[in-house]
């Protein structure tokens, strides 16, 4: 019943998403990526392979049993007397390793650690996919806002051109002013096309990342668009707080640590190649010779034999095979340790850079807000001067473009700040 209720809720959620016109939140995109990402699918296959390796390693502790049936045609051309030329043999044999220096248990432990490492690697892959989703998602939001700015600019430029057309017909402005106004409309239309192309490109990237059909209606929405200042957002963490949380939740570090532990087990396992091993074996078989013989039952009875064998294998010289295995395992262990150090160092560098980028983005956002306010006031003054005939249309148009550029800069600064904050949340494990 619980499973049925879960399925119904999933269907209702997908239906509500479709009714919403295909508008996806960041959480929707992240959940979709977790389910459909090919990178994650590949990582999960590696987990399955690690589980198979564990089962394979455990086989060393299990007894093996095999049956054999042999049919032999033979001929002794120089032997006197009649010959049967056919021999039949059947039997069962089994063996079990009683002692191999602990190699089986070491192999199982190493593979169990490798499985845990692969699980953490899958989690890190998920983090990487989430990071890509966040980057593209914020780019889409910024592109959508740039489109709104560009559309507004096109409408204003078109209205202004129509107004200037009337003024030109009345002889109030020159042909140059009218031509510049028309050129301004074309430039704004080009800016709009560029913004739309950017959105199309980022949307395609998101579709591919989420494994969505190209024909499926898709757009994004977010409450982040309502933020007007970094002051309305939570305070940024300190580097110490960020490092502590990131190291605690970073799956890549955990994966590398487990890989080091697995490599250490494999180094010990390599040394067991020259260990004494004890094997218990058993065998039972019988057979008969046919064609010219007719007492098959008696032959099977008299030919039956069984045996039990306790074998002890003592390696003496293996031509350096064990030493080479140990050296190879030691190299792998050192490589794993270096990979762990690199991951730790790269994580710390990334955290410092992310925090600095977030701090700088907040400052740029605040500066961009002030710049828009200043350019808006400057445009208001320019309009008064233009109406009074004290400002050329070229200078007036330059001021309008300055305001539009300031708005675009504000959009970029805003979403750069929001992106940095989301990435900080990701590294702190808040999006898991």
Distance CA 408, CA 411 (A): 5
Distance CA 342, CA 335 (A): 10
Are 428 and 347 in contact by the 8 Å Cβ rule? The answer is no
From the list 104, 113, 102, 119, the residue with the least C-alpha distance to 263 is 113
CA 21 to chain centre: 28
Burial class (CB in 10 A: 0-12, 13-18, 19+), 189: middle
pLDDT tens series, the chain, 432 aa: 334 333 333 433 333 343 334 689 999 999 999 999 999 999 999 999 999 999 999 988 889 999 999 998 888 888 777 777 788 899 999 999 998 888 889 999 999 999 999 999 999 999 999 999 999 999 999 999 999 999 999 998 999 899 889 888 888 888 888 898 899 999 999 999 999 999 999 999 999 999 998 888 888 887 767 788 898 888 999 999 999 999 999 999 999 999 999 999 999 999 887 888 999 999 999 988 875 556 778 888 888 999 999 999 988 888 888 899 999 999 999 999 999 999 999 999 999 999 999 999 999 999 999 999 999 999 999 888 888 878 888 888 889 889 989 999 999 999 999 999 999 999 999 887
From the list 393, 377, 376, 383, the residue with the least C-alpha distance to 184 is 393
Structure tokens at 59: 């086989």
Structure tokens at 331: 């190299």
Are 253 and 340 in contact by the 8 Å Cβ rule? The answer is yes
With vertex at residue 219, the alpha carbon angle to CA 9 and CA 13, rounded to the nearest 5 degrees, is 5
Are 87 and 287 in contact by the 8 Å Cβ rule? The answer is yes
Burial class (CB in 10 A: 0-12, 13-18, 19+), 366: middle
Distance CA 220, CA 26 (A): 8
From the list 228, 283, 211, the residue with the least C-alpha distance to 32 is 211
């Amino acid at each position: 019943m619980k499973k049925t209720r879960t399925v119904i809720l999933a269907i209702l959620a997908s239906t509500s998403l479709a009714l919403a016109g295909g508008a996806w939140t960041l959480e929707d995109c992240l959940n979709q990526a977790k389910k459909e990402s090919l990178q994650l699918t590949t990582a999960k296959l590696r987990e399955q392979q690690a589980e198979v390796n564990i089962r394979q390693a455990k086989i060393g502790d299990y007894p093996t049993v095999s049956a054999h049936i042999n049919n032999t045609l033979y001929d002794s051309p120089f032997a006197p007397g009649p010959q049967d030329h056919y021999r039949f043999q059947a039997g069962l044999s089994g063996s079990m390793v009683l002692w191999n220096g602990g190699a089986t248990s070491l192999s199982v432990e190493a593979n169990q650690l490798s499985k845990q490492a692969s699980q953490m690697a899958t989690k890190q892959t998920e983090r990487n996919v989430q990071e890509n989703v966040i980057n593209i998602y914020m780019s889409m939001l910024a592109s959508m806002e740039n489109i709104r700015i560009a559309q507004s600019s096109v409408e204003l430029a078109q209205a202004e051109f129509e107004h200037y057309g009337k003024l030109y017909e009345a002889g109030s402005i020159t042909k140059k002013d009218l031509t510049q106004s028309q050129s301004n409309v074309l430039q704004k239309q080009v800016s709009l096309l560029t913004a739309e192309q950017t959105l199309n490109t980022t949307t395609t990237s998101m579709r591919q990342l989420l494994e969505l059909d190209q024909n499926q209606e898709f757009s994004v929405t977010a409450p982040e668009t309502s933020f007007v200042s970094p002051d309305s957002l939570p305070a940024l963490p300190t580097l110490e707080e960020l490092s502590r949380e990131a190291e605690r939740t970073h799956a890549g570090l955990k994966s590398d640590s487990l890989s080091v532990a697995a490599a250490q087990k494999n180094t010990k396992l390599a040394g067991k190649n020259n260990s004494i091993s004890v094997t218990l074996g058993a065998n039972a078989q019988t057979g008969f010779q046919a064609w010219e013989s007719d007492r098959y039952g008696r032959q099977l009875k008299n030919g039956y034999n069984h045996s039990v064998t306790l074998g002890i294998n003592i390696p003496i010289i293996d031509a350096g095979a064990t030493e080479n295995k140990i050296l190879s395992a030691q190299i792998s262990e050192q490589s794993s340790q270096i990979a762990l150090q690199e991951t730790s160092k790269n994580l710390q560098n990334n955290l410092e850079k992310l925090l600095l980028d977030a701090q700088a983005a907040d400052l740029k956002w605040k500066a961009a807000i002030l710049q828009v306010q200043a350019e808006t006031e400057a445009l208001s003054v320019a309009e008064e001067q233009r109406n009074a005939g004290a400002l050329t249309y070229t200078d007036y148009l330059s001021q309008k473009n300055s305001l539009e550029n300031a708005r675009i800069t504000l959009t970029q600064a805003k979403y750069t700040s929001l992106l940095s904050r989301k990435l900080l949340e990701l590294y702190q494990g808040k999006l898991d």
